[in-house]
Amino acid sequence: MSTMPSEDVEAAYEALAMAIDSAGAEREALFLTRLALVLGHELGDITAFRRAIKTALEDLQ
């Protein structure tokens, strides 16, 4: 797994926050689902995609 430089993480966070705001609260889940599928397609690796899902779920419960 590659790592993103911290300044890029900050830029990604800001871009994501702005996109979520643009989508609106009522369509936030739909936007995030579509984004995850687009990124999964770009990744092109179902094992890595499943690993990312698992990582994202950690500490949510």
pLDDT at 25: 96
| pTM of structure | 0.82
The closest alpha carbon to 35, from 54, 49, 45, 48, belongs to 49
For the segment 1-59, what is each residue's pLDDT rounded down to a tens digit? Answer: 678 999 999 999 999 999 999 999 999 999 999 999 999 999 999 999 999 999 999 98
DSSP state of 27: G
pLDDT at 55: 93
